[in-house]
Amino acid sequence: MAGIGFVLRKLYRRDDLSGLAGACLHSAFASAGPWLFTVLALGAIAIIGKLLVGNEILFNFRVILIYNFSFSLVIAGPIFMIVTRYLSDSIYKRDVTNAPGMLFGALLLLWGIELVVAGAFYSLYARLGLALTLSAVINFLLLSAVWLVGIFVSALRNYRLITRAFLIGMSSTVVVSMLLVRSYGTAGILNGFSFGLAIVVAVLLGNMMAEYPYPIRRPFSFLPYFRVYWEIALSGVVYNLAIWADKWMMWFAPEAMRMDNRLLIYPLYDSTMFIAYLTTVPAMALFLFSTETRFFEMYVRFYRDIEQKANFAKIQKNHAGIMRGIFGSASHFFVLQGSIAFLGMLMAPEIIKLLHGNYLQIGMLRYGLLGAFFQILTLFLLVLLTYFDNRKACLLIQTVFLITNTLFTWISIKAGFAYYGFGYFLSAFVTFLTAAVIMTQYVSRLPFHTFITSNMSVRPPLREKV
């Protein structure tokens, strides 16, 4: 329990406000550091770029980035989930000698698939010209590489290093892309961004090689996990699809733009939703803070006491503690993010004005804020369910999200502009209700599930040949 959790708890124990604030800031940075720097870099590119070149070049850059970002999440999702699981099992077994090999193997697998998919899409469908096509594919591959190496490094809770890597990387991005943009246009910015990503990968890789100093062997040892933990792999696809479903559907809306390079985009919707997500950063910070401290302690105590021969009365007491912890954290979220969303909704016009946006975005922003609120709550519940290893429940909730998001967004498109975003919000709400019901039912029977349903030793010898 080294790393940030420990630090957080130390800060948490100080009873004064500054201790608490310090802890929150610290965890805000830990979880959102990479995001903040990336956003800042993109913002810098947008501002400086406007002084150097025309809007169209910047716009194309953003579109390609959004495409790369969303598709890489969906395609690479299963691989990331399985690798994460395999790595955490290895850490638990205290045998991480396969880690470098697994990174190598996963990267090979990932890039192999992505080269085919991205290559086909950008060269056969999109009309980007050779330079831009190559740059787009490279950017795609590098984005996934950053995620992948990030998994190994975040397992070490070395958030300082990750933040620092992004700081260096994203600063270089701004510098290099602005140097290249005049001569090379969109490809210039894209490659500048890729350059920054490459630096991030290099720094993280270096750290990884230091922390896992083992030779590369058995690169594909994680493959059997796909069969055994298929729910996790499927979750990787379903959840990412679900998150992007409304945005992708919106790209087919009548008001969307169909560009010369044949890429579809609906910037009004996308940027509104982006702003809505930004408002969830404080809640994410609080989330990290809360689970790493209070919940994790109760969670560990529950299982440890069982192992240490507690009687059932003690087990029930710990169970009640966990439920209290979950309920306590949930209400904190509700209040914090709820207030932010409420404030956001009230001040939507001002926010849009501040960001030089289109007045048309106000309605969508309101829906977006509400949707994000429920989506973050659902994420919280999903993480908790993952702590309890309830993979089936997670998959169910994510599937509900996928189906409702797709369906309701389609309906909102049919219903007209005034309802854009409403589909997303309704879907997030329904998904949250589902998650809340499932979570309550599951946690209230935690001892039963611990001993019987999730108990691996209780199952008859299965396919667990891993």
Q: Name the residues that contact other proteins, by CB under 8 A.
A: 306-307, 309-313, 315, 445, 448, 451-453, 458, 460
**88/455 with CB nearer other proteins:** 455
**206/447 with CB nearer other proteins:** 447
**179/452 with CB nearer other proteins:** 452
Least CB distance to other proteins at residue 306 (A): 5
**342/451 with CB nearer other proteins:** 451
**How far is Cα 238 from Cα 397, in angstroms, rounded to an integer?**
10
Least CB distance to other proteins at residue 305 (A): 9
Least CB distance to other proteins at residue 445 (A): 8
Count the helices and strands in the chain (H runs, E runs).
17, 2
**How far is Cα 450 from Cα 435, in angstroms, rounded to an integer?**
19
Least CB distance to other proteins at residue 355 (A): 53
DSSP secondary structure code for residue 417 in this structure: G
* DSSP state string for 151-186: HHHHHTT-HHHHHHHHHHHHHHHHHHHHHHHHHHHH
**171/453 with CB nearer other proteins:** 453
**306/330 with CB nearer other proteins:** 306
Least CB distance to other proteins at residue 88 (A): 24
Least CB distance to other proteins at residue 389 (A): 17
**How far is Cα 226 from Cα 146, in angstroms, rounded to an integer?**
22
**How far is Cα 278 from Cα 147, in angstroms, rounded to an integer?**
20
Closest residue by Cα to residue 327 from 377, 376, 364, 268: 377
DSSP secondary structure code for residue 460 in this structure: P
Given 3-state DSSP classes, what are the helix, strand and coil percentages for the chain, each rounded to the nearest 5? 85, 0, 15
Least CB distance to other proteins at residue 460 (A): 7
**155/446 with CB nearer other proteins:** 446
**How far is Cα 272 from Cα 405, in angstroms, rounded to an integer?**
17
Cα dihedral 235→231→437→457 (10° resolution) = -150
Helix axes 99-120, 130-155, angle to 10 degrees: 150
**6/451 with CB nearer other proteins:** 451
**How far is Cα 340 from Cα 370, in angstroms, rounded to an integer?**
10
Least CB distance to other proteins at residue 311 (A): 5
**How far is Cα 331 from Cα 324, in angstroms, rounded to an integer?**
11
